[in-house]
Chains A and B, each alone.
Chain A
Amino acid sequence: MSSIRTGAGIVARGLEKTFRTPRGEVHAVQGIDLAIAPGEIVALLGPNGAGKSTAIDLLLGLTPPDRGEVTLFGRPPAAAIAAGEVTAMLQTGGLLRDFTVGELVRLVASLYPAPRPVGEVLALTGLDQLADHRTQRLSGGQAQRVRFALALVAGARLIVLDEPTVAMDVEARRGLWATVRVAAAHGTTVLFATHYLDEADAHADRIVLLAHGRVVADGPATEIKARVGLRTIKATLPGADLAALHRLPGVTGAERRGDAVVLTCSDADRAVRALLAGFDPRDLEIAGADLERAFVALTADPEARRAA
């Protein structure tokens, strides 16, 4: 109980990890600081090679860091794991052959001090019909649901999900996120890695954006999008003078798409007022920069970013 009073789920300070490979050293993680509160749903986002998997391994204690330290609920990862406070759905997480789905879920449940009821977990993950199937006969999507069930049944305080919805169909995805949200509402801390930007946008309270082994942005999706500072205005405006549009206050770019124009804005509020005053736009749409644009802007090569 004392760990609850510390108020921290995951705390990482100054994590660094370098791998030695035949082709030289790879600085997979070059300084990650992170604090995640109990009940938060946090997405770990980043391009391939950004250090997501290494970061997860460090946070879970599967790989010892070269520098820095991690605590889970106020203790070292190994102690938190031994106490049954942690569960994870790993990308590489295997399912044992020769067991049925039900047996495997029951087996994992038996390893934890306070597991969730097996029947409930099988129902939540849509596996009740598959409980008697041997694991080697499952489809990719079914196997992924079993992995999620194994993570869920632990009843742990921290769930780490690495690319959890890969190979899942739409319904299974929706079910997974609904279940995750309920678990978080009950105080479970959820950390997931994904390369689906919309998934991070839709389901995370907070996004930690990694690039080149560092945290380049950390905050709610809206804030990260706002950090890039761009909004777009789209309007039907046949035959408009693009150069004139570009000169409007707050507009940084203008392009034509058929009868419509798309204005990229650093100050959309002023741009809209100027647009309405000087032109006759119809079907006006204002949108925040999407996460993808923010993602590309923030994860670009550090040299390129510094030059920009």
Chain B
Amino acid sequence: MTAVTYTGLELVRNLRNRQYFVLSLGLPVSLYLLMAGPRRDVTDLAGSGVSAPLYYLTGIIAFATIAAMLAGGARIAGDRVAGWTRQLRLTPLPARAYLRGKLAAAYMMALIAIGLLDAAGAALGVRLPAGVWLHMTGLVLIGLIPFAALGVALGHALGVEALGPAVGGLTSLLAFVSGTWFPLGHGTLADLAPYLPSYWLVQASRVALGSGWPVQGWLVVAAWSAALTAAAAYAYRRDTRRS
């Protein structure tokens, strides 16, 4: 019961912080419209087999949701600096429940971003059968697990000042090397990208081609999830021991 209340309040807190809310959501939607708008009639973007509005849609969804997950977990650092995590450790709220609240809030922001971007995509003519849409969105939500863990790790390991550059920089870098803004074609980048979890978020658009993730996609996402969860657990233990 208490854990549910706590999660609820964590959600409310995100909605109340208007700057955080508007910037996290407004920016990706504008970016999408700017990129996909002029190319709305391209039906096969650079040999990907996917239309430009759909390709960019999953690209920008990957960008926005990665940012949401990293920023959501990173908000732990704010609570830590404010002394709130220490205060919470003296209450009966289990550390697990606190984490659940943070992750639920991060996923909520990611879902709102997906909803808004889907609406923008629809405005540019993206039409998907319900089953395909569900499959695609499901893959995105699963593909976000490593980033949820990474956000928690950053929140425990970094100072508040370092978080802006870390979240912004990591998101941009991952987006760039994962084919968010354009299909990767051939070359070193294209060979390496499939080992990154962010690549598979963008590849969720392949559902529209009827293919979804191959086994490699599942393996890469699972491996990163395990590794980053271990990193988050380590950062958490190190952080609480230090205080």
B80 to chain A, nearest CB (A): 9
By secondary structure, the A interface counts as loop
A32 at interface, CB cutoff 8 A: no
Query: Does A92 contact B83, Cβ atoms closer than 8 Å?
Result: yes
Query: Does B2 contact A62, Cβ atoms closer than 8 Å?
Result: no
Binary flags per residue of B85-115, CB closer than 8 Å to A gives 1, else 0: 0110111111000000000000000000000
B188 at interface, CB cutoff 8 A: no
A13 to chain B, nearest CB (A): 22
Instruction: Tell me how many residue pairs across A and B have CB atoms closer than 8 Å.
Output: 74
A: contact size bracket: 20 to 34
Q: Which residues of A contact B211 (CB under 8 A)?
A: none
Q: Which residues of B contact A84 (CB under 8 A)?
A: 91-92
B23 at interface, CB cutoff 8 A: no
Q: Which residues of A contact B186 (CB under 8 A)?
A: none
Query: Does A96 contact B86, Cβ atoms closer than 8 Å?
Result: no
Query: Does A110 contact B5, Cβ atoms closer than 8 Å?
Result: yes
B6 at interface, CB cutoff 8 A: yes
B227 at interface, CB cutoff 8 A: no
Stretch at the interface among A36-44, A97-105, A236-244: A97-105
Complex CA–CA separation, A90 to B86 (angstroms)? 9
Q: Which residues of A contact B94 (CB under 8 A)?
A: 82
Q: Which residues of B contact A82 (CB under 8 A)?
A: 92, 94
A107 to chain B, nearest CB (A): 5
Query: Does B91 contact A96, Cβ atoms closer than 8 Å?
Result: no
Query: Does A88 contact B13, Cβ atoms closer than 8 Å?
Result: no
Question: Which partner residue on chain A sits nearest B94 by CB separation?
Answer: A82
Question: Which partner residue on chain A sits nearest B243 by CB separation?
Answer: A62
Complex CA–CA separation, A111 to B5 (angstroms)? 9
Contacts A82-B92, A83-B92; A98 near B17 (Cβ below 8 A):
yes
Q: Which residues of B contact A92 (CB under 8 A)?
A: 83, 86
A60 at interface, CB cutoff 8 A: yes
Q: Which residues of A contact B243 (CB under 8 A)?
A: 62-63
Question: Which partner residue on chain A sits nearest B81 by CB separation?
Answer: A94
Contacts A98-B13, A99-B9, A99-B13; A108 near B82 (Cβ below 8 A):
no
Query: Does A93 contact B6, Cβ atoms closer than 8 Å?
Result: no
A287 to chain B, nearest CB (A): 40
Complex CA–CA separation, A113 to B91 (angstroms)? 10
Query: Does B90 contact A112, Cβ atoms closer than 8 Å?
Result: no
Query: Does A93 contact B86, Cβ atoms closer than 8 Å?
Result: yes
Task: Tell me which of B5, B17, B241 contacts A107 (CB under 8 A).
Answer: B5
Q: Which residues of B contact A28 (CB under 8 A)?
A: none
Task: Tell me which of B1, B81, B82, B89 contacts A62 (CB under 8 A).
Answer: B89
Which of B5, B89, B90, B243 has the most chain A CB within a 10 Å cutoff?
A: B90
Question: Which partner residue on chain B sits nearest A112 by CB separation?
Answer: B92
Complex CA–CA separation, A169 to B86 (angstroms)? 26
Which chain A residues (223-240) contact chain B, with CB distance < 8 Å?
A: none
Which chain B residues (1-45) contact chain A, with CB distance < 8 Å?
A: 1-2, 5-6, 9, 12-13, 16-17
Which chain A residues (55-74) contact chain B, with CB distance < 8 Å?
A: 60, 62-64
Which chain B residues (89-144) contact chain A, with CB distance < 8 Å?
A: 89-94
Q: Which residues of A contact B92 (CB under 8 A)?
A: 81-84, 111-113
Complex CA–CA separation, A93 to B92 (angstroms)? 16
A95 at interface, CB cutoff 8 A: yes
Query: Does A107 contact B84, Cβ atoms closer than 8 Å?
Result: no
Closest CB pairs A-B (n = 4): A94-B82, A94-B83, A92-B83, A98-B16
**Can you list 5 A-B pairs with a CB-CB distance of less than 8 A?**
A96-B13, A97-B82, A108-B91, A110-B5, A112-B91
Chain A residues within CB distance 8 Å of chain B:
60, 62-64, 81-84, 86-88, 90, 92-99, 103, 107-108, 110-113, 150, 154
